[in-house]
Structure formats: C-alpha cells, structure tokens
C-alpha cells in the first residue's frame, strides 16, 4: 500500500514540476518529511530522484542547442567541489545522520522560504536589471563569470544540505548575471548544471547511507510519465495562478521547518 502511495506522490510532484517548472526538491523533500521519513533519507533520496528526472530534459535541450556550456561549466566549477567537501564534512564531523538532522531540516526550511521569494520575484528580476544604470550594471557585466563561480559555490553547499535550490536559484542567478540569455537558454543552462550537481550530491548521500532505493524506484515510476504530461498541459493552464499558490505553500512549509 505504501509503495502505491509513493508512486502516486511521485506522479503528483512530477505533474506539478511539468506544469510550473518548480524544481522537484522544493516539493518532494517536504512531502517525504510529512510521510515520516528522516530528513537525511528524504534529502538523499530526493537528490538522486532529481538527477534522474532532469537528465532527459538536458538531452532535449542539448538537441535544441539551448545550453550555454561555458556558464554551466563555471557554475559547476564552483558547486561540485563544494558539494563533495560538504559530504566529507558530514561524514567526518558528525557521528551519525541523527546528529546532523537538525542542520538539514533547518537548511531545508530556509531554502524553501528563499525559493518561495524567488518564484514570486523572478518576473521582476529581469526588469530590475533592465532599469539599472551606472556602476551596479557595469560591475555585474564586468565580473559576471567570477560572480557565477561564487554563486556556484553557494549552490553546492545549499543543495547538498537541503536538496533545494538547483533549479529556482540557478535560474535567478542566470537572470541576474546574464540578462541577454533567452528564457529557453536560461532553462536549458540551469538544467544542465542541476543534473551533475544533484547527481554528485546524491551520490555523496548514497555513500552516507541516506538513500531509500525502494522509495526512489516508486517515485520515479510515478513521476517520469507525469512530468511529460504536465509539460504538455502547461500551455493550457495559467502559470500566474499556479506559481503564487505554490509559493505560498513553500513559504508555509519553509517557516515550519526553519523555525519549529
């Protein structure tokens, strides 16, 4: 019975991801916590789930040539080593998963709150950049790759300890630093970075014993077809209605896990 419930949960999250573009981590990890899974199992399993579900999207974007690999590589140069170091710190400075459960749960809460804010504000980010003149805009343009590397390091840590942020925050970074990129190239480039980051972070959690393989299989069975269905339906449903609802839900969950 539980296996069927996890399949249906994977389908529900996959459908939501396809409809709204919101990353699976911000939806799946809180759901697994509500089901009673420990934070380390929820986060570790979700990271591998995200890597597998997003991989097909990268292949599709590569065929359409909508990935900027220089930007992807710069982000990865910062994020992947930090992800590995973060796993090493968890393995060597905490005696058991229970000892870092509080860190993971509170990190998840903070990232959910920030993700909700990014989703609500992302339409204004490009407008803000377009209206910026003077030293701020010049600084961002001059140092965009250095700043991309720095932001990649932050993503590497945040995604590894919370499973949240590779999608929404990656897109916000690209919107801010590379406003000339088209929307489809932002999505493709962000996705191309999210896959190796969640894969490396997920592999690290797998090394720590933080992955439930039966759960992972059930989630994938439900989500993979549902994501494709959601993508097809997305053009028929008002995103301006769906995203504020999701943002409010993520904000509430974020407050719960960050402060309670």
- How far is it, in rounded angstroms, from Cα 24 to Cα 14? 7
Confidence (pLDDT) at 249: 73
- How far is it, in rounded angstroms, from Cα 166 to Cα 169? 6
Is 32:17 a contact under the CB 8 Å cutoff? no
- How far is it, in rounded angstroms, from Cα 158 to Cα 116? 15
Tens digits of pLDDT across the chain (260 residues): 689 999 999 988 888 877 766 667 888 999 999 999 999 999 999 999 989 888 877 887 888 888 999 999 999 999 999 999 999 999 999 888 888 888 899 888 988 888 888 777 766 665 665 555 667 667 777 788 999 999 999 999 999 999 988 888 888 888 888 888 887 888 889 889 999 999 999 999 999 999 999 999 999 999 888 887 877 776 666 666 666 777 777 788 788 777 75
- How far is it, in rounded angstroms, from Cα 228 to Cα 248? 25
- Give 128's Cβ-side CA count (13 Å radius): 11
- How far is it, in rounded angstroms, from Cα 5 to Cα 212? 15
- How far is it, in rounded angstroms, from Cα 202 to Cα 196? 10
Confidence (pLDDT) at 32: 94
Per-residue tokens: 202 = 């997920």
Confidence (pLDDT) at 260: 58
- How far is it, in rounded angstroms, from Cα 113 to Cα 175? 19
- How far is it, in rounded angstroms, from Cα 74 to Cα 11? 33
Confidence (pLDDT) at 184: 80
The pTM score is 0.87
Confidence (pLDDT) at 115: 84
């Amino acid at each position: 019975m539980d296996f069927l419930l996890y399949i249906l949960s994977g389908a529900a999250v996959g459908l939501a991801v396809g409809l709204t573009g919101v990353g699976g981590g911000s939806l799946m990890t809180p759901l697994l916590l509500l089901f009673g899974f420990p934070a380390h199992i929820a986060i570790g399993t979700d990271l591998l789930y995200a890597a597998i579900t997003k991989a097909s999207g990268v292949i599709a974007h590569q065929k359409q040539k909508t990935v900027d690999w220089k930007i992807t590589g710069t982000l990865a140069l910062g994020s992947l080593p930090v992800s590995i170091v973060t796993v090493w710190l968890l393995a060597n400075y905490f005696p058991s998963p229970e000892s870092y459960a509080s860190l993971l749960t509170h990190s998840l809460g903070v990232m959910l709150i920030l993700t909700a804010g990014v989703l609500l504000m992302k339409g204004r980010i490009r407008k803000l950049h377009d209206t910026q003149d003077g030293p701020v805009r010049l600084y961002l343009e001059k140092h965009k790759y250095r700043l991309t590397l720095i932001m990649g390091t932050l993503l590497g840590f945040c995604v590894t300890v919370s499973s949240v942020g590779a999608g929404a925050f990656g897109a916000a970074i690209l919107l801010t630093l590379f406003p000339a990129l088209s929307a489809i190239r932002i999505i493709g480039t962000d996705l191309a970075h999210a896959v190796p980051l969640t894969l490396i972070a997920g592999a690290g959690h797998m090394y720590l014993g933080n992955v439930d393989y039966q759960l992972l299989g059930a989630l994938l069975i439900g989500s993979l077809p549902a994501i494709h269905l959601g993508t097809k339906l997305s053009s028929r449903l008002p995103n301006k209605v769906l995203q504020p609802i999701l943002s409010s839900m993520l904000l509430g969950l974020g407050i719960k896990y960050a402060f309670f």
